[in-house]
């Protein structure tokens, strides 16, 4: 892993200029920058706000997670920097690949970007599922992301999705004692409001089923264009219940109207019927993943297989986007 100094990163980001700021979160800010040693030059620097309670622990968690993972649907970490700034204060940052198309959240709710097509939404759903399937089923010990939401899904030049922000990630205990890494108590942050599995609120241990729940909420959010914390959802009504109440007869009434665009009209009724079939299947998958009881949710390998099959069905329609 390459090594970078504070001066290197300050130079790359024009002194961490506000003009280079591309996002901020609970534990820090992300700046775009240029490093000559990188293939395309562009990088992103996530600078941790170490005065924020939990930020140093989040930095360690991200370093540990990325040290143990490698997958094309996870954001690539180029390096980590733990040093002092030019005033002698502690400085911690991650240098990651720059995602030119920003976050999934910015695409769902933007009034200036072109709307996401159904094909793009399906591709993103497949990519997120692939990332979680890898974390849950291929990593030893398994890793639970614990903070899946649209702002933590980044989109590359080809609109492929990469999962980012492992600051709350937890390693589950391996069945092989030699690979055991301390798991999960629920002390500390548990995720983001609207995406946290309901069982976490009653003291259950963190599990892969929690990520499945968050995935289901993200799917329903992509389909409806509604935040799970929308003012509409009160007095016991949630995004999951809102969609469930409309499914299947009234589902078209609550979909993001941009999902089925003018291109479907050009392809005629066959394309429309095929698209609606894919949408119905995706809604059902989102509802299944976000069911209240953990044991009733599918596993991520099953989810990945199912959403991939929906994507293949859609691709066979040959809808021009």
104-315: CATH superfamily: Transferase(Phosphotransferase) domain 1 (1.10.510.10)
| Whole-Å CA distances, 67 to 1, 79, 114, 210 | 10, 10, 36, 23
Helix/strand/coil for 213: helix
Helix/strand/coil for 199: helix
Domain ranges of the chain: 6-97, 104-315
Binding site, by residue number, is: 46
Binding site for ATP, by residue number, is: 46
- Does domain 6-97 fall into CATH 3.40.630.30? no
303-320 pLDDT tens trace: 999 999 999 999 999 877
- Per the annotation, the verdict on 147 as an active-site residue is yes
Distance CA 286, CA 144 (A): 19
**Are the C-beta atoms of 35 and 3 separated by less than 8 Å?**
no
Average pLDDT over residues 139-144: 94
83-137 pLDDT tens trace: 999 999 999 999 999 999 999 999 999 988 889 999 999 999 999 999 999 999 9
54-88 pLDDT tens trace: 999 999 999 999 888 999 999 999 999 999 999 99
User: Which of these is catalytic: 8, 127, 147, 165?
Assistant: 147
């Amino acid at each position: 892993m390459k090594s970078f100094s504070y001066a290197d990163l300050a130079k790359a980001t024009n002194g961490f200029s506000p003009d280079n700021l591309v996002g901020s979160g609970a534990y820090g800010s992300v700046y775009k920058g240029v490093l000559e040693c990188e293939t395309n030059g562009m990088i992103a620097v996530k600078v941790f706000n170490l005065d924020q309670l939990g930020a140093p622990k989040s930095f360690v968690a991200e370093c540990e997670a990325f040290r143990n993972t490698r997958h094309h649907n996870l954001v690539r970490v180029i390096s980590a920097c733990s040093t002092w700034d030019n005033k002698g204060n502690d400085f911690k940052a991650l240098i990651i690949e720059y995602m030119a198309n920003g976050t999934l959240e910015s695409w769902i709710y933007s009034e200036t970007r072109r709307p996401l097509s159904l094909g793009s939404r399906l591709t993103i759903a497949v990519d997120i599922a692939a990332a979680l399937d890898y974390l849950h089923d291929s990593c030893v010990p398994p890793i639970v992301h614990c903070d899946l939401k649209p702002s933590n899904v980044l989109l590359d030049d080809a609109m492929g999705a990469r999962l980012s922000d492992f600051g709350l990630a937890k390693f589950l205990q391996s069945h092989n004692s030699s690979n055991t890494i301390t798991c999960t108590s629920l002390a500390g942050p548990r995720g983001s409001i609207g995406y946290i599995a309901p069982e976490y609120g009653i003291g259950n241990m963190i599990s892969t089923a929690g990520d499945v729940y968050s995935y289901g909420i993200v799917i329903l959010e992509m389909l409806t264009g509604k935040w799970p914390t929308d003012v509409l959802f009160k007095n016991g009504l949630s995004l999951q219940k809102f969609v469930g109440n409309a499914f299947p007869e009234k589902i078209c009434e609550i979909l993001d109207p941009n999902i089925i665009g003018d291109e479907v009209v050009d392809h005629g009724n066959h394309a429309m019927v095929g698209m609606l079939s894919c949408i119905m299947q995706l809604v059902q998958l989102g509802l299944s993943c976000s069911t209240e009881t953990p044991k009733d949710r599918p596993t991520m390998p099953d989810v990945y297989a199912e959403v991939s099959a929906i994507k293949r069905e859609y691709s066979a329609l040959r809808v021009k986007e």
